[in-house]
Amino acid sequence: MTPVYKTKLRQQTFIAVCLYILLKRYFSSR
């Protein structure tokens, strides 16, 4: 695996986690 691919994957995972947390908080606050 190339470092660029790893970084890209990590970035996507980070974004996905952020979105998941935001959605969770949004739905729990409703």
Structure tokens at 23: 């959605």
SS (H, E, C) 9-30: HHHHHHHHHHHHHHHHHHHHHC
**Residue 23 and residue 6: Cα distance in Å, rounded?**
26
The pLDDT assigned to 23 comes to 97
For range 1-21, the mean pLDDT: 91
- Domain ranges within the chain, ordered by starting residue: 1-30
Quick one: pLDDT at residue 12?
A: 95
Q: What percent of the chain has pLDDT over 70?
A: 97
pTM of the model: 0.63
